[in-house]
Structure 1
Amino acid sequence: MTDTQLEASRIVGAPPDKIFALLTTPDRHPELDASGTVRGSRTHHPLAAVGDVFEMEMHGEDMGDYVVDNHVVAFEPDREIAWAPATHGGDRGGQVWTYRLEPRDSGGSTLVTHVYDWSAVTLERLLPYLPVVDADGLDATLKRLAAAAEL
């Protein structure tokens, strides 16, 4: 971790392919997000590659309702996915959300590392809101991911 990056890790009792399927399905993101800001998906198909963009309906206490365009910036099936949010139809803000998956116990469970990196933020209007989550928030999201994957 650095001054502009947070991470949390958790062993999830599910194989990497099942966890990756959850993370690549934008319709499932509201149930995984512990912050309560992710409200719904406007993209109703799985993510498949770097360059995919998925739209999410969001709500922030200070910002009200808004939409973000998440640009997939890393995609390695069953190993890693990352996306960089952007204003709807506009600029990427410089934040990146990453999930790294490492198989454990012959693939029956997975070490999931969730990273939030805001080191590339250049939009002045975002700075007062950063970081948008703390390490406990990342951990809470991992707990929700585990609950969904372990069903």
Structure 2
Amino acid sequence: MTDQLISESITVDAPPAVVFGILADPRQHNRIDGSGSVGSVISGPERITAKGQTFTVRMKLFHVPYVIMNRVVEYEADRRIAWRHFTANRWRYELEPTADGGTTVTETFDTTRANTLTDAVVRRAKFYERNREGIVATLERLKKAAEADAA
């Protein structure tokens, strides 16, 4: 693994379909966001069902609001979902069922497709470190939400 792939995993006491249901609903992303940057959805499907779908979200970075459109670039129901915006960076979730009916979830911030300029900006703004912290917090929030939804 390179420093261009920031990944963390967590085991959730909920089946993959419940976890994926949260991830595939853009309106729930601010519910699980641990970075503090994801706001409300402006447009998009109630549930992502295929690669190529888009959703637009209100965001903030360093307390500065902005709007971003994301495109789903990987999709396998109950197993994998990833999206990107105007950069080539991807936010990916991979789900693996556990023997006891739960799910191991791995979230990855993937910049391996980024051009040199994007990579330089990501490094200079310390997004790698910031994104690792956000991923850990997001996975904890996802675990709590999925376990509540499964109960």
Q: Aligned equivalents of 2:65 and 2:118: distance in 1?
A: 17
Number of the residue aligned with 2:95? 101
**How much has 1:71 moved relative to structure 2?**
0.6
Q: Aligned equivalents of 1:123 and 1:67: distance in 2?
A: 24
Aligned counterpart in structure 2 of residue 136 of structure 1, from 103, 114, 133: 133
| Distance 1:69-1:138 versus aligned 2 partners, 3 A rule | same
TM (norm. structure 1) is 0.87
Q: Please give the per-residue CA displacement for 1:68-114, whole angstroms capped at 9, x wherever unaligned.
A: 111101110000000012xxxxxx211000000000025x2000000
**How much has 1:44 moved relative to structure 2?**
5.2
**How much has 1:128 moved relative to structure 2?**
2.5
Question: Are 2:145 and 1:148 aligned?
Answer: yes
| Distance 1:126-1:57 versus aligned 2 partners, 3 A rule | farther
**How much has 1:31 moved relative to structure 2?**
1.2
Pairwise mapping of residues 1-151 of structure 1 onto structure 2 (< 5 A)?
1-42=1-42, 43=44, 45-61=46-62, 64-85=64-85, 92-106=86-100, 108-122=101-115, 124=117, 127-130=120-123, 132=127, 133-151=130-148
**How much has 1:5 moved relative to structure 2?**
1.1
User: 131-140 vs 121-130, which deviates more?
Assistant: 121-130
Q: Percent identity?
A: 35
Structure 2 gaps of 5+ residues are none
Q: Please give the per-residue CA displacement for 1:18-46, whole angstroms capped at 9, x wherever unaligned.
A: 00000010110001110100011113511
Amino acid corresponding to residue 9 of structure 1 in structure 2: S
Structure 1 runs of 4+ with >4 Å offset? none
Amino acid corresponding to residue 66 of structure 1 in structure 2: Y
Structure 1 gaps of 5+ residues are 86-91
